[in-house]
Amino acid sequence: MSYANTEVAQIAAISSNRCIGKDNELPWHISEDLQHFKSMTTAANDSAIKGIVIMGRKTFESMGSKPLPKRVSFIITSQLDYAEQKGLVGKDNAHVMHNLDEALTQAASLAHGAHLETIWIIGGEKVFKDAMMYTDRIELTHVDTEISGGDAFFPELPSDFVATETSEKKHDEKSGLDFEFVSYRRKG
């Protein structure tokens, strides 16, 4: 599917009931999952830009309204003055966009210039859903727990996605949760 010859990948940690967020926060803290996220979205290249991430406004705010280190953040919001509000005007590591197409187009152009093969969609629920039609690959951390009262969920995977790689089951001592990393690719 790819967007302007750049792979579009989604990355998320989801509970068994597909929950990805509660009260604008991750429903758990699993440091190995956070390390996995960082290593997936940060390329080991010579470019100043190590990764490109696209997210919605609430996801950006859940990360303290700060762009991720070594990565360029594209933040999607309908708020026209959001860049001014958050002090992002003129920043080269954070760009405010007003729709997904605009974010993907700008991100693909930047990825091409920085020799990055992947644009990462990192949330939240609406951005994951809207980007699904452009997505080539999905990296999910399946966390073995049910979250009640969650308010953000990962969409159902379309039937043309197949699991291509699954890690062994892992256990996080601090949270007491079991989890595994699964890679899905669009077939065809």
Per-residue pLDDT, 57: 97
pLDDT at 47: 78
pTM score, whole prediction: 0.96
Taking alpha carbons only, the member of 101, 93, 99, 90 closest to residue 73 is: 93
C-alpha distance across the termini of the chain, in Å: 9
Alpha-carbon separation of residue 86 from 23, 36, 59, 96 (angstroms): 21, 28, 14, 10
pLDDT score recorded for residue 30: 97
Nearest to 110 by CA among 89, 95, 126: 95
* Distance in angstroms (rounded) separating the CA atoms of residues 46 and 7: 19
* Intervals of the chain under pLDDT 50: none
Q: Are the CB atoms for 116 and 43 separated by under 8 Å?
A: yes
CA 63 to chain centre: 12
pLDDT value at position 46?
Answer: 79
Q: What's residue 2's pLDDT?
A: 61
> Which pair of tokens denotes residue 33?
């999952």
User: What are the chain's domains?
Assistant: 7-186 (3.40.430.10)
